[in-house]
A and B are shown apart, each in its own frame.
Chain A
Amino acid sequence: MSDAFYDDDNFSDEFTPDKDLKLGVWTQLLTYARRYPKDLVLLALCAVVVGIAEISFPLVTRWVIDDIGLYGQDIDLLGYGALYGVLCVALGTAVLGFLWFGGKLRSHMSHDIRRDGFANLQRLSFAYYDERPVGWLMARMTSDCERLSNIMAWGILDLFWSFTIMLGISGAMLIMEPVLGLIILLSLPLLAIISRYFQTRILRSAREVRQTNSRITGAYNENIMGVLTSKVFVKEADNLNKFGRLTDRMHAASITNAVQAAIYLPIVLTLSALATGIALVVGGIESAWGLISTGTLIAFLTYTRHFFEPIEQLAHWFAEMQMAQASAERVISLIQAEPDIQDSQAVLDRLAQPTTRGAEPDAFNQPIERITFEGVGFRYNTGKPVLHNIDLAIQRGQSVAVVGATGGGKTTLISLLARFYEPTAGRILINDVDYRDWSLQALQSNLGVVLQSSHLFAGTIADNIRYGDLSADQDQILVAAKQAGAHDVIIAMPLGYETVIGEGGSSLSAGQKQLISFARALLADPQILIMDEATSSVDTLTEARIEQGLRALLKDRISVIIAHRLSTIRHANQIVVIDDGRIIEQGNHDELITRRGRYYHLFQQQSLSNLWQQAEPINVEQPDGI
């Protein structure tokens, strides 16, 4: 009955419908509904009231018609009118009620599921993210949540409504005339079987439509992104051909879906007509024999038209639950997944203890003096090892540059340092204590990280820099931006620091994004600064300026830099060359150049690639030293 009131067609793809309903999954979801007991009860109550009212209208008609025959002019029309009016208002109020409470239940449930899911996503370690694309997680958190809360709210509503109607109509029919009632009731199982059969198929082909639809969206995306390639390879016709196969499939699946629905509806109609026919024949004869009144016959005729709706609804929800079961399992698993990196019980106990040291009981009570890697090895899940036996010691005030070929393990090394992952062999010590004995918060709130692909959030540039220190004022933001060499770039934009950047910083160039995320990291005033190709897209002159400012900044910090450009690397106190997960050379620039090893080789290669970039500003400005 409630189909018209909400949309239920924007779910994600990829379901594997199960044969059986797993009650456990649904019971777990039901706990979300049970947080709103009052609304749940009222929703059920409204459903029952709607059901009762709907059953009562034909009864009123029956009484009125029978009383016309029995009492003629003495009929109490006013009384029935009042009863009818009361029923009208009751039904109207109950409809308002179920939309009110159902709407609340639905929106609150999906809100709560999403809230818990989000909270857990903030705890889960990157290993979890590595296995699941963002799109997958998004689908769980948006369409799946909506779909499940729809099932929970409207499914519950329809469950109560359907049973009320079925019980009420069966009861009314059996009381009014048991034989006729029984005959009509016999058609129910048949309808139930047919409905189950069709509803399942209709939902399945609807899924096929949705899946194909998301492929079509993907195809548009790919074709628009790759339009240049298509043009230069003259692939327009091929593209259309390939796309045509997809739209053909969409066409076929949609028509299948529509035809299934178009077959199902007439079957239900005919079945219901069969019941009406039986009611007319049997009821008519009984009426002629004086066994039942005309009013009863009319009530029967009316009931046969409404009797099947609940079955259709129940069949629909049953099929829907079957289809959504996989969604439910995935959502629950997302909420319940345990992060593999979290504070140990010892740390948690310590955090729970009352403290005299103020608001941050677990903060390092002294500056980070030293980070030590002791025989650190790492593998992702069951993959082959990415790092082997890394030994490295970094003192406060030191900078370490990590260089090496792509895929050699550089980024993994800093991910371990940031405790995004934990070593699978050996250990990492902060001030000589295994960092697993500190809280995650303690380490990560002292980190400043600038990553290869700098992610910015939608909002103003100032907001993005402020992400490094939420309490920073405008001046501090300005200082950080200047230190990062971002200030000039930012004020060159029409709105300066108030420039609103799109999702993922889409409106900025890679270099601009790097500068802003660099300013963000500096604003955090971290004890450990990690830069993973932080300035790779910044021109050499700007980089040089940053470099000079940075040296003072890094004096009391630990800094770890991954870079390809020599200008960035050469001043590091310590340069670590990593290849195939092992440290193969270690020392400062001069030592490594003298050694004529891998570093020397890399240096020679790399220095040529930036020539033009270096030549261009020189061409214009001719600074000293050339």
Chain B
Amino acid sequence: MHATASTHPKTPALWPLFVTISAGFRGPLLMALLAMIASFALLFTVPMITRSMLDRLTGEAPDAYLTWLQHFMPSGLSDDYALYMQLGLSGILIVLCTALAGYFVYLRGKQIAVAAEGMARRLRDTLMNHLNHLPIAFHHQADTGDLIQRCTSDIETFRVFVSGQIIEIGRAVLMLLIVTPILLSLDVTMTGVALITMPLLLLSAVLFFNRVKAMFLEVDEAEASLTTVLQENLTGIRVVRAFARQDFEAEKFGRANARFRDQNQRLMRFLGFYYGASDIVCLFQVGLILFVGAHWVLADAMTIGTLFAFITYEGMIIWPIRHMGRVLTDSGKAVVALKRMAEILSEPEESKLEQALTAPLNGQIKLDSVTFHHPGNPPVLSNLSLTIAAGETVALVGAPGAGKSTLIQLLLRLYDPQQGALWVDDFDLSQLSRKSVRAQMGVVLQESFLFAGSIADNLRIGQTQASLADMTEAVTTANLLGTIQALPNGFEALVGERGVTLSGGQRQRLAIARALLKDPAILILDDALSAVDTDTESQILTNLRRVRANRTTVIVAHRLSTVMQADRIIVLDHGEVAQIGTHETLSQTPGIYRKLCELQGQVQRDIQQSRTPEGNLL
């Protein structure tokens, strides 16, 4: 599925992407094309049949069609009855031909849908899968709105190109290819007359739509800014009211609203001129045939039937040709859309050639002179070495930017270090497949992302097969059972936009339960209790110690009450280990940790004395 991804880094080639995407759908496309040819061939017989009959009625000599029709008629009919018979058979033939053509029209529509929708589905799936496998570094710098646009609107543009524009272009070309020989067989000079305005029509259409392209864009922009103003007003309605700015807002919205209206109106006027003028040209073309033809009929150079056929055919081909300008302009968008998608797909995915972990880990972690920096930035971790024993509970302490979260990201192989190595048990982390490493780690992040769905759905992210008992146990450990039981639907209660709103603390606890369900060899809590009150926090920590006795746990925390409970405390400072030790030893040693403890003592004293000197906020 991600065949196109890894090879070209900078300028994505569109053709290979198109080949990949259309694989398996070129058959249906070809079928659609053939069905279209068949339907046109059949539809174009109708004017020919009518022409023959008109000529027969106006007393011309019988042509090939009438001679052929003779095969289906009993011989020896009187002239009158032969005519009735010919008329009847022609009527039936017209209906049959059209019905058959109709079948091919249906076939065309169906095959095109199979191809276009199939390719769209493949693009959607491929993009989704690719996005999921792109490194986290890509996601950090990417703009979500832009990505979504590429995955939705751009796919739609491409889909419309396949299902609409390719067909429109094919239709116009095929019609010309099929009709021209028919017309030539009828009357060569008249064919010239019939096609005389076509190049003009085509050219002016293309020129016109290239010019109004900018105008379409302006309308889109006006609409986008209208939407933005509206969205901002509605999401910020409390601010608007709080400052009593309704009039100001109405004026702002009024401007955007009027601009959209005026741009729209201007575009319609332009289109009006184009369609009005091109209608006149098209009708002039039909009129030309009528009057030149009438002249020739008078001169006995042409039959009325042929004239009728020319007028009918002209009506069939001229409108698609007029439409070409718009179609060709729009086709340009499909190329741009495909390019934007190819850009995403050419971003390299996370490597996945490494060997997979097969056995459960014990949970020992070792960092050996690890240095890491984001591209173009100073190092976040410099020459960091430390060991965490299997089964140990370690607290990571440090100021924001000290490197705590980076360390965890390296452990999860979200990034790889530039220098040094990380080891889990006896494996070099960089030699292990990312997925198998992550599968053995349970992670709770400060901003826990919940998926739209029920609480149970979110818990099952930790373990797909989790039973109700498993889930109950996990949420009990995370001290969330009471909250869930109080919800109207319990585990089945929906969370997210359409469901109940969970508080920050509840979300964090749900995320902890979710991680616990994974029963990971290494549990990582990255500031995961920040929104939970201290009582609950200490209960959770106690529970954790019980269920995770002898399993490795790494806790990043800001509260001393959390930190104190760890077996060992690692103090990070500017990407280096500043202190390692237990709470007892560190609180006695001069350094960052003791300063923290002193601060806490200060606050405690403050509470005890219940009084602070004015102006000193600590």
Q: Quick one: given A75-B298, A288-B83, A458-B232, are A240 and B132 in contact (CB under 8 Å)?
A: yes
Q: Contacting chain A: which of B109-117, B171-179, B360-368, B386-394? A: B109-117
Most buried by A among B226, B244, B443: B244
Q: Which residues of A contact B61 (CB under 8 A)?
A: none
Q: Which residues in window 170-229 of A have CB below 8 A to B?
A: 213, 216-229
CA distance A287 to B142 in the complex (A): 74
Q: Which residues in window 36-94 of A have CB below 8 A to B?
A: 57, 60-61, 64-65, 68-69, 72-73, 75, 77, 80-81, 84-85, 87-89, 91-94
CA distance A302 to B50 in the complex (A): 11
Q: Which residues in window 569-618 of B have CB below 8 A to A?
A: 592, 595-596, 598-600, 602-603, 606-607, 610-612, 615-618
B148 at the interface (CB under 8 A from A): yes
CA distance A298 to B47 in the complex (A): 11
Q: Do A444 and B241 have beta carbons less than 8 Å apart?
A: yes
Q: Which residues of A contact B439 (CB under 8 A)?
A: 234
Q: Contacting chain B: which of A347-355, A472-480, A576-584, A608-616? A: A608-616
A335 at the interface (CB under 8 A from B): no
A-B contact pairs, 7 of them (CB 8 A): A65-B297, A75-B298, A84-B290, A138-B227, A262-B105, A503-B232, A614-B599
CA distance A524 to B264 in the complex (A): 38
Q: Which residues in window 503-541 of A have CB below 8 A to B?
A: 503-504, 517, 520, 524, 530, 540
A274 at the interface (CB under 8 A from B): yes
B101 at the interface (CB under 8 A from A): yes
Q: Do A266 and B102 have beta carbons less than 8 Å apart?
A: yes
Which 7 pairs show the lowest CB-CB distances between chains A and B?
A103-B268, A262-B109, A266-B102, A96-B276, A99-B272, A273-B98, A258-B113
Q: Do B50 and A270 have beta carbons less than 8 Å apart?
A: no
B66 to chain A, nearest CB (A): 13
Q: Contacting chain B: which of A14-22, A107-115, A555-563? A: A107-115
B431 at the interface (CB under 8 A from A): no
Q: Do B311 and A233 have beta carbons less than 8 Å apart?
A: no
A276 at the interface (CB under 8 A from B): yes
Q: Quick one: given A114-B257, A234-B439, A619-B592, are A92 and B50 in contact (CB under 8 Å)?
A: no
Q: Which residues of A contact B287 (CB under 8 A)?
A: 81, 84-85, 88
Q: Do B272 and A287 have beta carbons less than 8 Å apart?
A: no
In-complex Cβ contact of B250 among A122, A228, A287, A458 (8 A): A122
B275 at the interface (CB under 8 A from A): yes
Q: Which residues of B contact A61 (CB under 8 A)?
A: 290, 311
B103 to chain A, nearest CB (A): 7
Q: Quick one: given A228-B445, A600-B607, are A301 and B50 in contact (CB under 8 Å)?
A: yes
B30 at the interface (CB under 8 A from A): no
CA distance A593 to B605 in the complex (A): 13
Q: Do A80 and B291 have beta carbons less than 8 Å apart?
A: yes
17 more CB-based (< 8 A) A-B contacts, given A216-B124, A278-B91: A85-B287, A103-B272, A110-B261, A137-B234, A228-B449, A232-B438, A233-B461, A247-B124, A266-B102, A280-B50, A298-B304, A441-B244, A503-B231, A608-B559, A609-B530, A611-B559, A625-B618
A231 at the interface (CB under 8 A from B): yes
A56 to chain B, nearest CB (A): 11
B84 at the interface (CB under 8 A from A): yes
Q: Do A544 and B617 have beta carbons less than 8 Å apart?
A: yes
In-complex Cβ contact of B113 among A225, A232, A255, A524 (8 A): A255
B121 at the interface (CB under 8 A from A): yes
Q: Do B284 and A88 have beta carbons less than 8 Å apart?
A: yes
Q: Contacting chain A: which of B12-20, B52-60, B473-481? A: B52-60
How many A-B pairs with Cβ below 8 Å?
Answer: 444
B68 to chain A, nearest CB (A): 17
B308 at the interface (CB under 8 A from A): yes
Q: Do B234 and A95 have beta carbons less than 8 Å apart?
A: no
CA distance A238 to B457 in the complex (A): 12
Q: Which residues of A contact B443 (CB under 8 A)?
A: 232
A445 at the interface (CB under 8 A from B): yes
Q: Quick one: given A228-B136, A524-B243, are A234 and B118 in contact (CB under 8 Å)?
A: no
B414 at the interface (CB under 8 A from A): yes
Q: Contacting chain B: which of A24-32, A366-374, A424-432, A449-457? A: A449-457
B549 at the interface (CB under 8 A from A): no
Q: Do B152 and A467 have beta carbons less than 8 Å apart?
A: no
Q: Which residues in window 230-256 of B have CB below 8 A to A?
A: 230-246, 248-250, 253-254
A436 to chain B, nearest CB (A): 16
A251 to chain B, nearest CB (A): 5
Q: Contacting chain B: which of A126-134, A161-169, A312-320, A379-387? A: A126-134
Q: How many residues of B contact A (CB 8 A)?
A: 162
Q: Do B227 and A267 have beta carbons less than 8 Å apart?
A: no
Q: Do B243 and A613 have beta carbons less than 8 Å apart?
A: no
Q: Do B95 and A100 have beta carbons less than 8 Å apart?
A: no
Q: Do A615 and B599 have beta carbons less than 8 Å apart?
A: yes
Q: Do B283 and A57 have beta carbons less than 8 Å apart?
A: yes
CA distance A589 to B234 in the complex (A): 38
CA distance A244 to B455 in the complex (A): 22
B328 at the interface (CB under 8 A from A): no
Nearest to B286 among chain A residues (CB) is: A57
CA distance A126 to B238 in the complex (A): 8
Q: Which residues in window 476-512 of B have CB below 8 A to A?
A: 497, 503
A124 to chain B, nearest CB (A): 9
Q: Do B558 and A609 have beta carbons less than 8 Å apart?
A: yes
Q: Do B269 and A100 have beta carbons less than 8 Å apart?
A: yes
CA distance A564 to B299 in the complex (A): 100
B560 at the interface (CB under 8 A from A): yes
Q: Do B243 and A444 have beta carbons less than 8 Å apart?
A: yes
Q: Which residues of A contact B133 (CB under 8 A)?
A: 236
B497 to chain A, nearest CB (A): 7
B550 at the interface (CB under 8 A from A): no
Q: Which residues of A contact B232 (CB under 8 A)?
A: 457-458, 503-504
CA distance A219 to B128 in the complex (A): 9
Q: Do A262 and B121 have beta carbons less than 8 Å apart?
A: no
B217 at the interface (CB under 8 A from A): no
A346 at the interface (CB under 8 A from B): no
In-complex Cβ contact of A615 among B271, B279, B284, B595 (8 A): B595
CA distance A296 to B241 in the complex (A): 71
Q: Do A100 and B596 have beta carbons less than 8 Å apart?
A: no
B412 at the interface (CB under 8 A from A): yes
B122 to chain A, nearest CB (A): 9
User: 1/0 contact trace for B410-421 toward A, CB 8 Å?
Assistant: 001010000000
B294 at the interface (CB under 8 A from A): yes
In-complex Cβ contact of A121 among B113, B234, B438, B599 (8 A): B234
CA distance A134 to B231 in the complex (A): 7
Most buried by A among B108, B260, B617: B617
CA distance A138 to B250 in the complex (A): 16
B183 at the interface (CB under 8 A from A): no
A391 at the interface (CB under 8 A from B): no
Q: Do A226 and B451 have beta carbons less than 8 Å apart?
A: yes
A337 at the interface (CB under 8 A from B): no
Q: Which residues in window 230-286 of A have CB below 8 A to B?
A: 230-236, 238-240, 243-244, 247-248, 250-251, 254-255, 258-259, 261-263, 265-267, 269-270, 272-274, 276-278, 280-281, 284-285
Q: Do B441 and A258 have beta carbons less than 8 Å apart?
A: no
B277 at the interface (CB under 8 A from A): yes
In-complex Cβ contact of A607 among B107, B129, B245, B603 (8 A): B603
Q: Quick one: given A259-B110, A418-B242, A615-B599, are A234 and B132 in contact (CB under 8 Å)?
A: no
Q: Do B275 and A96 have beta carbons less than 8 Å apart?
A: yes
Q: Quick one: given A84-B287, A142-B227, A590-B610, are A468 and B276 in contact (CB under 8 Å)?
A: no
Q: Do A615 and B235 have beta carbons less than 8 Å apart?
A: no
Nearest to A260 among chain B residues (CB) is: B109
In-complex Cβ contact of A119 among B250, B291, B304 (8 A): B250
A364 at the interface (CB under 8 A from B): no
Q: Which residues of B contact A254 (CB under 8 A)?
A: 113, 117, 120
Nearest to B297 among chain A residues (CB) is: A68
Q: Which residues of A contact B435 (CB under 8 A)?
A: 234, 236
Nearest to B247 among chain A residues (CB) is: A122
B405 to chain A, nearest CB (A): 11
